Chains A and B, each alone.
Chain A
Amino acid sequence: MLTLKGIRKTFNPGSVNERMALAGIDLELQTGDVVTLIGGNGAGKSTLLNAVAGVYPLDEGQIFIDQQEVDGLPEYVRASFIGRVFQDPMMGTAASMTIEENLAMALKRGMRRKLRRGVLKKDQEFFCEHLQLLGLGLENRLTTRVGLLSGGQRQALTLLMATLTPPKLLLLDEHTAALDPNTAEKVLELTELIINRYKLTTLMVTHNMEDALRIGNRTIMMHEGRTILDLGEKQRKNTCIPDLLEMFKKASGITMANDKMLLAN
């Protein structure tokens, strides 16, 4: 479904700040795969997601979604098959616009925008149905400006927006990291609910080892721009967090005093 071949990306090449973020990534996701992506600071997890989404051009490598090569396409064209939720709850919604306007824009993801009224009556009912799914009471606040919502509410809304028209691929970039523990748990529950509902192929970055092993069917660990570990469904069953840390030490050759390096977001 998603195929990455030899992805390389270096930031600020030729300068003092040169940093190789992706050092040749090969990855193959099957339809319906839900993959959690872990790794320390600067491992290249977010860069990988951004590369798939088309935020910046690649130095080398190819990206295919359903056999279609997408690496030459600009971000806004790829948006028609990719749904995204960012770490910062402020990033996924337009604060000065209402809940229904944000949802209406999400409904048109990847489609040509026309000179026709943006929020239609029939859409409002559709939005209400989906907002009820969140269980946050937002279905009664369609005309509230999103800027007035809390971070958790905004993130739940972003999640809904990313999946309102089910995308071929869902990219979640530590989307619960900026929320308080309770809200994070709630948003994560919603995430699993929505992923299961639409059988979405998902790539999820997380800094939480427990979530990483529990959610989805596959866990990939990154280090210095490479994938150093790829656990399938069966292997994950017999793995606990200390095992994961041990595997990290072996694969990366780094001994850590504690698991801070992995857990830090």
Chain B
Amino acid sequence: MTASIWFGALEQGLLWGVMVLGVYITFRVLDFPDLTVDGSFTLGAAIAARIIFEGYNPWLGTALALVLGVTAGLITGFLNTRLRIAPLLSGILMMIALYSINLRVMGSKSMLSLLRMNTIFTDVAALGIPRDYAVFTLGLIVVALTCYLLYTFLLTEVGMAIRATGDNEQMIRSLGVNTNSTKVIGLALGNGLVALSGAMVAQYQSYCDVGMGIGMIVVGLASVIMGEVVIGNKTLLRTLIAVVIGSIIYRVVIALVMRLGLPTTDLKLFTAILVILAMSSPIIKEKFRPVKLKGR
């Protein structure tokens, strides 16, 4: 019983890990606090669920999720770079717009059940992988592939320009990079991953709920921060792996807290407090540091 809880946390950590990688791209690499994520996660879940619900191929639904997530990111980027709307507001506007769009995608239902339907996971299980390990296997493959591709991409000329945009925008512009383009590419990439993750999560839990993306940006942030604290961010590859491990740690912590008897409805409050503590830790440490003597 206990073992299965930990294994479940591991599975979830991998599936949500793809979302966390997306948040890492926008929030950390691009330094863009992108709230689109809340909407694009559900968007990915909704399109995959609807495609499956209508009896089409689940892989098609998952691929479509990726494409629509990229599109959502492109629009947020357009709002920010072309229409000059502030980053935070661009994301909030997209998030709100996506709420209505997601309901339409789901056929005006707030919930779609995928019970006993064909998903990417049942397809993998059909290949001969034991049913209990199907989610883990596919999750691991997708996460590893995503990490590898991201790592390779971030070391290309375009990838470095995106990283530099988040680090020092004026500098990279003075070196001839159109930072509007790098921002749009980063947002598209990030939201594509988030939507892909949403599609996988919906198939994993066998339902899609229009509210399942609420607070996703905070979950992503909590995972990124925990991963960086535990594993570190010395090199790029290490940071990418840290981010995924952070996602797993987050799920383990949630599993622990639920075992302690916290109702699921309190999870978002708990996550928010977790992020507040992590983000304020430098100041808290400063306050409680023993007073140093001045001079030598």
Contact = CB atoms under 8 A, between A and B. Distances in A.
Given A94-B167, A94-B168, A95-B168, A53 B174 contact: yes
B: interface residue count bin: 20 to 34
A225 interface: no
Interface string A91-126: 111111100010011101111011111110000000
Interface in B144-201: 153, 155-161, 163-164, 167-168, 170-179
A90 B170 CA distance: 11
A82 B178 CA distance: 15
Contact of B157 (A53, A84, A108, A161): A108
B167 A79 contact: no
A75 B175 contact: no
B171 A115 contact: no
B160 A118 contact: yes
Contacts of A92: 171, 174
Contact of A105 (B153, B164, B179): B164
Nearest to B161: A113
| SS class, residues of chain A in contact with chain B | loop
Contacts of B160: 97, 101, 104-105, 113, 118
Contacts of B171: 91-94
Given A105-B172, A108-B175, A111-B176, A97 B167 contact: yes
A: interface residue count bin: 20 to 34
A94 B160 CA distance: 10
Contacts of A101: 160
Nearest to B152: A117
Contacts of A119: 155
A113 B157 CA distance: 5
A96 B170 contact: no
Contacts of A80: 176
B137 to A, nearest CB: 30
Given A76-B177, A84-B174, A93 B168 contact: yes
A96 B171 CA distance: 13
Given A94-B168, A105-B161, A108-B176, 4 more contacts: A91-B168, A105-B175, A113-B158, A118-B159
Interface of A: 53, 74-77, 79-80, 82, 84, 86, 90-97, 101, 104-106, 108-111, 113-119, 161
Interface of B: 153, 155-161, 163-164, 167-168, 170-179
26 contacts: A53-B174, A76-B179, A77-B176, A79-B174, A80-B176, A92-B171, A93-B168, A93-B171, A94-B167, A96-B163, A96-B167, A101-B160, A105-B157, A105-B172, A105-B175, A108-B175, A109-B176, A110-B176, A113-B156, A113-B157, A113-B158, A113-B161, A115-B158, A116-B156, A118-B157, A118-B160
